[in-house]
């Protein structure tokens, strides 16, 4: 059955295809993407720079904004490292060992994805206040978690932890154990096997997972605001300051902080994308 080939097909397709629906599916995809993502993204950029570059810089370079941003970055970095440690340990145990309850643990890993952030926030706060199940043992040791920076780090690492497990676990599962056995039989110590054989293979996945956890932590709102205490210049995170500015009807100020956050998270995403593409291409070359 000969079909008329539309102009869109001819100009966009690299390779002809016998399948139908190219124009409809791509057209809908691009329209929907534009309406839901690109247009709102453009609107926030337009608002942030509506007063020009000087106003934008002025909205960002205020002490309160500055301390919220540095607090967010520092906490997200610490949280990502905690997520990385927790995630690598759990990924290793899940990928390498069989033990009773393994599949329950495997399902539980995704809990921070499935549990609404507000629920995580109030549950963590309750656990770590001075009367809480964990807080009551930490307070005598003079460790304060709830309503301090540590609370922020805790909530952020909670929401970021599945990213690390789910990027590292598949790599460990696919890894050929004969490499480790070969290294051992050639006289390598367990530590040498870990640092010389395992780490080089796992490192890209571990870094990707940690970067994703960091991006998630830097933008996190729901789970953090309950446990943070939210004191301006002390425990106020960037996402909360966006909301505060909005409640003050300072739309330009809110948009400026939001743009700073967007630049950070989108560049992390882009870097991850580019490195993954490069790794894929190298693997492709090797065949």
Partner 1 sequence: MNAPSLSERLVRIGLIALALLSVAVFLVLPLITVFAQAFAEGGKLYVQAIRSDAVLTALKLTLIVAAMAVPLNVVFGIAASWAITRFDFYGKQILITLIDIPLAVSPVVAGLMYIEVFGLHGWFGPWLAAHNIHIIFAMPGIVLATVFVTFPFVARELIPFMQAQGSDEEEAAVVLGAHPLSIFWRITLPNIKWALLYGSILAASRSIGEFGAVSVLSGHIRGRTTTLPLEVEMAYNEYNFTAAFAAASLLTFAAIITLTVKKILESASGIHPRAGQEKDAA
Are 222 and 120 contacting, i.e. CB atoms less than 8 angstroms apart? yes
Name which position in 57, 107, 179, 199 contacts partner 1 (CB under 8 A).
Answer: 107
Q: Binding to partner 1 by residue 26, rule CB under 8 A? A: yes
Name which position in 61, 179, 182, 243 contacts partner 1 (CB under 8 A).
Answer: 243
Name which position in 226, 227, 228, 236 contacts partner 1 (CB under 8 A).
Answer: 226
Using DSSP's 3-state secondary structure scheme, residue 153 falls into helix
Q: Binding to partner 1 by residue 182, rule CB under 8 A? A: no
CA 180 → CA 91, 160, 165, 170, distances in Å? 17, 30, 21, 17
Give the CA dihedral 34, 39, 45, 46, nearest 10 degrees: 140
What are the φ and ψ backbone dihedral angles of 189, each rounded to 5 degrees? -75, 160
Q: Binding to partner 1 by residue 115, rule CB under 8 A? A: yes
Crossing angle of helices 117-128 and 149-174, rounded to 10°: 120
Report the distance separating Cα 95 and Cα 91, nearest Å.
Answer: 6
Closest contact distance (angstroms) between CB of 52 and partner 1 is 17
Using DSSP's 3-state secondary structure scheme, residue 192 falls into helix
Mask: binding to partner 1, 142-171, rule CB under 8 A, as x and -? ----------------x--xxx-xxx--x-
Span from 56-64, 126-134, 136-144, 228-236 in contact with partner 1 (CB under 8 A) = 126-134
Q: CB under 8 Å to 85, separation ≥6 — which residues?
A: none
Span from 51-59, 142-150, 195-203, 278-286 in contact with partner 1 (CB under 8 A) = 278-286
Cβ proximity to partner 1, 45 vs 58, nearer residue = 45
Mask: binding to partner 1, 61-80, rule CB under 8 A, as x and -? --------------------
Total residues contacting partner 1 by CB under 8 A comes to: 107
Report the distance separating Cα 147 and Cα 224, nearest Å.
Answer: 10
Name which position in 65, 76, 197, 255 contacts partner 1 (CB under 8 A).
Answer: 255
């Amino acid at each position: 059955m000969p079909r008329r080939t539309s102009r869109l097909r001819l100009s966009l397709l690299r390779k002809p295809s016998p399948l139908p629906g190219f124009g409809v599916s791509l057209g809908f995809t691009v329209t929907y993407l534009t309406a839901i993502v690109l247009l709102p993204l453009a609107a926030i950029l337009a608002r942030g720079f509506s007063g020009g570059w000087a106003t934008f810089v002025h909205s960002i370079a205020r002490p309160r904004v500055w301390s919220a941003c540095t607090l967010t970055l520092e906490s997200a970095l610490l949280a990502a490292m905690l997520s990385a440690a927790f995630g690598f340990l759990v990924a290793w145990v899940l990928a390498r060992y069989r033990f009773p309850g393994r599949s329950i643990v495997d399902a539980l890993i995704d809990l921070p994805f499935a549990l609404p952030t507000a629920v995580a926030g109030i549950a963590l706060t309750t656990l770590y206040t001075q009367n809480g199940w964990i807080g009551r043992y930490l307070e005598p040791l003079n460790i304060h978690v709830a309503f301090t920076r540590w609370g922020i780090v805790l909530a952020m690492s909670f929401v970021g932890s599945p990213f690390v497990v789910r990027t590292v676990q598949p790599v460990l599962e696919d890894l050929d154990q004969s490499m480790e056995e070969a290294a051992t039989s050639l006289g390598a110590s367990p530590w040498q096997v870990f640092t010389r054989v395992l780490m080089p293979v796992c490192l890209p996945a571990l870094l990707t997972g940690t970067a994703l956890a960091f991006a998630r932590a830097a933008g996190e709102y729901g789970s953090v605001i309950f446990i943070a205490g939210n004191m301006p210049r002390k425990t106020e995170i960037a996402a909360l300051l966006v909301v505060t500015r909005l409640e003050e009807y300072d739309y330009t100020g809110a948009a400026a902080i939001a743009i700073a956050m967007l630049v950070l998270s989108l560049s992390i995403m882009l870097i991850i994308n580019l490195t993954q593409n490069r790794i894929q291409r190298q693997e492709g070359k090797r065949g």
